[in-house]
């Protein structure tokens, strides 16, 4: 698409405008109010770390691993080998509550949106960047207050013991997923890793521990799912490609550690007799279609939802066709249904998080980016200090419902702007044909994703009889950048 006729295109500014409009249409706030900015101006420094009744863990080999362009660093991790092949694992979470007080103007803005929104047209942070990327971010070589989740992991990857406490920490190395993953696979260590004596050995311990923890969860029925996530690549202000972001071992380290830390946080609040907000994915609503997809691939699943049986099927399919496995994963995820937040009383039995094979699960490890995590942090701090809950039970129930609704709105904004970016990329390809997979089938429409270009659009012709997971060949009919519409028709006789 790059050429003399396109050099004056302003795709980036177009997507920024579309993103802002999409935020407003969904009731989200793209800008911070004068009250928020005035309050922000009075916050000059991070919360003090001297004289606090907290653990001093600044000398440990803490490191952050995140995306290359991430600036809001919520977590650090470090590990220590223990006698008997056990591992002490520490996860430090930024103490955002130390500066963002409940009921403040900044807090009310965060409560309204409930999450940062990440679009090709820009990021709309839940908290002002002065906080989320500076004062409350666990930045390189900066002393920060944190909430530490300490876990004792057995040789088999199981959790043997845990604790939660406040601590002072210092990030010794800011690392990125892709370069760490390449090193773990035998490549050159990143400069930030090589610069810290002993960090390479510590990260290898973390990697081995994460693999054991993941394997232990999969034995219990956690699902091996892998989806395609696309990120626009710009040439100046013009979008020229969609880059597929893939899973890797560095991402798995953080994923498995955060799952474990979130479970510890949920159980801690239950033991302290606190109401909490839990994250659940309920039993798949369309298990019958998942069974049908397995049958089409020569496998048999039980009539009733069974995560262990589904995991065995997924692992077999991943080994047989790793290239197309994300397509099957996407179909399974769509059929499982979306997650939601619920308020849970201590001692209640929460629905199991079907995809993770965990029953005790909250969101607690990203308080700069998600409001539920900030709420959970306040609950944890009150529980640690022996104080009453800062939220009533009724308020937590309302917050859980609100956060589910606003997260759904944010996801729709992200998808809308992502489709506008894809429409920009496909403008010149009208009439071309592509291999695709059905990702959604409902009375309101049938949706497909292209297999070779990570783009999703609506099947407006030939959708009769199609269901999630079906493979077909489609032709691009039209694109509408402003609305994010990408319309396809099925090429006759193409259903696989």
The token duo for 417 is 């702007």
Q: Where are the beta strands (DSSP E) in 253-396?
A: 276-280, 340-344
How far apart, in whole angstroms, are the C-alpha atoms of residue 149 and residue 89?
Answer: 8
The token duo for 103 is 């009921």
Burial class for 420, CB neighbours closer than 10 Å (0-12, 13-18, 19+): buried
* Cβ atoms within 10 Å of 116's Cβ, excluding its own: 19
How far apart, in whole angstroms, are the C-alpha atoms of residue 127 and residue 190?
Answer: 30
How far apart, in whole angstroms, are the C-alpha atoms of residue 112 and residue 108?
Answer: 6
Q: Give the model's pLDDT for residue 336.
A: 78
How far apart, in whole angstroms, are the C-alpha atoms of residue 342 and residue 243?
Answer: 35
Alpha helix (H) ranges present in 164-299? 177-184, 191-194, 199-220, 249-271, 287-296
CB 280 within 8 A of CB 460: no
Nearest Cα neighbor of 437 from 461, 425, 426, 453 is 453
CB 335 within 8 A of CB 284: yes
CB 173 within 8 A of CB 199: yes
Q: Give the model's pLDDT for residue 7.
A: 45
CB 164 within 8 A of CB 380: yes
Q: What is the DSSP letter of 304?
A: S
Distant-in-sequence, close-in-space partners of 48: CB < 8 Å, separation ≥ 6: none
Nearest Cα neighbor of 96 from 86, 104, 88 is 104
The token duo for 319 is 């080994």
Backbone φ and ψ of 476, nearest 5°:
-75, 120
Per-residue pLDDT of the chain (496 residues; tens, 9 = 90+): 334 344 457 899 999 999 999 999 999 999 999 999 999 999 877 776 665 578 999 999 999 999 888 889 999 999 999 988 899 999 999 999 999 999 999 999 999 999 999 999 999 999 999 999 999 999 999 999 999 999 999 999 999 999 999 999 999 999 999 999 999 999 999 999 999 999 999 999 999 999 999 888 876 666 667 776 778 888 888 888 888 777 789 999 999 999 899 989 999 999 999 999 988 877 777 888 889 989 988 999 998 888 888 888 888 888 888 767 877 887 888 787 778 898 988 866 655 556 555 556 688 999 999 999 999 999 999 999 999 999 999 999 999 999 999 999 999 999 999 999 999 999 999 999 999 989 888 888 899 989 888 898 999 999 998 988 888 999 999 999 999 999 999 997 666 5
Backbone φ and ψ of 474, nearest 5°:
-125, 160
Q: Give 421's Cβ-side CA count (13 Å radius).
A: 30
How far apart, in whole angstroms, are the C-alpha atoms of residue 437 and residue 461?
Answer: 15
3-state secondary structure of 445: strand
Distant-in-sequence, close-in-space partners of 349: CB < 8 Å, separation ≥ 6: 359
Q: Give the model's pLDDT for residue 228.
A: 67
How far apart, in whole angstroms, are the C-alpha atoms of residue 435 and residue 455?
Answer: 11
* Cβ atoms within 10 Å of 190's Cβ, excluding its own: 18
Three-state SS string across 106-127, please?
HHHHHHHHCECEEECCEEECCC
3-state secondary structure of 424: helix
The token duo for 150 is 């300490």
Q: What is the DSSP letter of 491?
A: P
CB 446 within 8 A of CB 467: no
How far apart, in whole angstroms, are the C-alpha atoms of residue 82 and residue 91?
Answer: 16
Residues in the chain: 496
Nearest Cα neighbor of 150 from 246, 80, 63, 227 is 80
3-state secondary structure of 430: coil
Answering whether pTM is above 0.95, one says no
The token duo for 423 is 């429409």
Q: Give the model's pLDDT for residue 495.
A: 62
The token duo for 46 is 């991070």
CB 249 within 8 A of CB 184: yes
Q: Give 426's Cβ-side CA count (13 Å radius).
A: 30
How far apart, in whole angstroms, are the C-alpha atoms of residue 147 and residue 463?
Answer: 51
């Amino acid at each position: 698409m790059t050429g003399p006729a396109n050099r004056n295109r302003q795709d980036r500014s177009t997507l920024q405008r579309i993103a802002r409009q999409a935020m407003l249409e969904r009731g989200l706030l793209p800008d911070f109010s004068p009250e928020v900015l005035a309050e922000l101006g009075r916050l000059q420094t991070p919360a003090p770390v001297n004289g606090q009744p907290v653990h001093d863990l600044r000398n440990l080999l803490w490191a952050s691993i995140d995306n290359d362009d991430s600036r809001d660093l919520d977590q650090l991790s470090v590990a220590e080998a223990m006698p008997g092949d056990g591992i002490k694992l520490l996860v430090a979470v930024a103490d955002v509550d130390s500066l963002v007080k409940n009921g403040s103007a900044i807090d009310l803005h965060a409560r309204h949106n409930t999450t940062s929104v990440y679009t090709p047209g820009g990021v709309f942070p839940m908290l002002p960047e002065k906080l989320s990327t500076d004062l409350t971010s666990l930045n390189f070589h900066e002393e920060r207050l944190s909430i530490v989740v300490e876990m004792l992991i057995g040789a088999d990857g199981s959790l043997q013991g845990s604790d939660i406490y406040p601590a002072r920490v210092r990030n010794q190395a800011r690392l990125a997923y892709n370069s760490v993953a390449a090193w773990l696979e035998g490549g050159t260590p990143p400069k930030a890793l090589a610069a810290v004596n002993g960090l390479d050995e510590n990260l290898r311990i973390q990697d081995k521990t994460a693999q054991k923890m993941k394997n232990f969860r999969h034995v219990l029925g956690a699902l091996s799912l892998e989806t395609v996530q696309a990120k626009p690549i710009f040439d100046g202000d013009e979008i020229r490609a969609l880059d597929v972001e893939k899973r890797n071992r560095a991402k798995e380290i953080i994923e498995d550690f955060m799952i474990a830390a979130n479970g510890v946080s949920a159980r801690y609040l239950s033991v302290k007799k606190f109401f909490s907000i839990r994250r659940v994915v309920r039993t798949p609503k369309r298990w019958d279609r998942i069974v049908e997809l397995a049958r089409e691939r020569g496998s048999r699943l039980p009539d009733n939802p069974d995560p262990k049986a589904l995991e065995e099927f997924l692992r077999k399919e991943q080994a047989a066709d790793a290239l197309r496995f994300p397509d099957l994963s996407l179909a399974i995820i769509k059929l499982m249904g979306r997650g939601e937040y619920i308020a849970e009383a201590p001692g209640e039995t929460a629905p199991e998080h079907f995809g993770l094979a965990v029953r005790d699960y909250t969101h607690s490890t990203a308080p700069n980016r998600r409001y539920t995590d900030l709420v959970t942090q306040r609950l944890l701090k009150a529980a640690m200090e022996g104080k009453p809950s800062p939220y009533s039970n009724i308020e937590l129930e309302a917050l859980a419902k609100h956060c589910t609704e606003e997260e759904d709105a944010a996801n729709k904004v992200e998808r809308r702007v992502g489709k506008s970016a894809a429409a920009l990329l496909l403008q010149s390809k009208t009439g071309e044909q592509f291999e695709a997979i059905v990702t959604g089938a409902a009375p309101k429409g049938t949706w497909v994703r292209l297999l070779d270009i990570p783009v999703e659009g609506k099947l407006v012709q030939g959708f009769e009889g199609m269901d999630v997971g079906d493979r077909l060949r489609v032709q691009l009919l039209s694109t509408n950048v402003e609305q994010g519409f990408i319309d396809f028709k099925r090429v006759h006789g193409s259903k696989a």
